Structure 1
Amino acid sequence: MEISDKLRHYRKQKNLTQKELADKLHLSRKTISGWENGRGYPDIKSIAQLSDIFGVSTDDLLKDNNLLEHYDEQNKQSLRARKIVKVTYYLNFIFILAFYGYIFGLLNDDNSITLLILFGNMILFFANYSDWNRFKQKKQLLGMIIAFILLIFLNAGIIPTNNEFFQLIKGSDQAEDLGVFTGEVIIIILLSICVTLAICFYPRSIKRERDSNNTEN
Structure 2
Amino acid sequence: MTQQDLSNYLHVSRKTVSGWENERSFPDIQSVMKMSQLFKVSTDDLLNDDLLIQHYESENKTHLKNQKILKITYVLNIILLILTYVHMFQKVRPHTAFIPIFLIINLLVMMIHSENNSRFKRPLNLFELFGSFVLAMLINLFFDNFDPSLTSVLSSSNYSAAYTLGFVGSQFTLNLETSISFLVIFFMNPFIKHKK
* Common fold: TM-score over 0.5: yes
1:3-54 deviation digits (Å, cap 9, x = unpaired): xxxxxxxxxxxxx221111010000111111111111011111111111222
Say whether residues 1:68 and 2:53 are aligned partners. Answer: yes
Is the 1:84–1:128 Cα contact (8 Å) retained in structure 2? yes
Q: Which of 158, 174, 179 is the matching residue for 2:161?
A: 174
1:156 deviates by: 1.5
Alignment of 1:200 with 2:183, yes or no, is no
- Equivalence for 2:13: 28
Comparing both chains, which one has the higher relative contact order based on Cα–Cα distances under 8 Å and sequence gaps of 6 or more? Answer: 2
1:98, 1:107 within 8 Å by CA — same for their partners in 2? no
Change (3 A) 1:144 1:41: same
Distance 1:80 1:66 in 2: 21
Please name the residue that 2:175 is paired with.
Answer: 188
Partner of 2:99: 114
Letter in 1 for 2:59: Q
The residue identity in structure 1 corresponding to 2:39 is F
**Distance in 1 between residues matched to 2:159 and 2:150, nearest whole Å:** 17
Q: Deviations over 1:51-82 (max 9, x none)?
A: 12222221111111111011000000000001
TM-aligned CA deviation for residue 144 of structure 1: 2.4
TM-score normalised over the length of structure 1: 0.77
Alignment deviations for residues 152-200 of structure 1 (CA, whole Å, 9 cap, x no partner): 01112223597589569x7773223222221111111011100121122
Q: Does 1:125 align with 2:113?
A: no
Partner of 1:215: none
Q: CA RMSD in A?
A: 2.6
> Which of 30, 40, 65 pairs up with 2:25?
40
1:104 Cα shift? 2.5
Tell me the TM-score normalised to structure 2 length: 0.85
In percent, how many aligned pairs have the same letter?
32
Structure 1 contact 47–61 (Cα < 8 Å) conserved: yes
Letter in 2 for 1:64: D
Bigger Cα Rg: 1
Residues matched between the structures, number:
190
Structure with the higher fraction of residues in helix conformation: 1
1:61-108: CA deviation from partner (whole Å, max 9, x where unpaired): 111111101100000000000111111111111001111112233996
Question: Aligned partners of 1:175 and 1:41: how far apart in 2?
Answer: 56
Indicate if the aligned counterparts of 2:87 and 2:97 stay in contact, CA closer than 8 A.
no
Q: Which runs of 5+ in 2 are unaligned?
A: none
Q: Which runs of 5+ in 1 are unaligned?
A: 1-15, 209-217
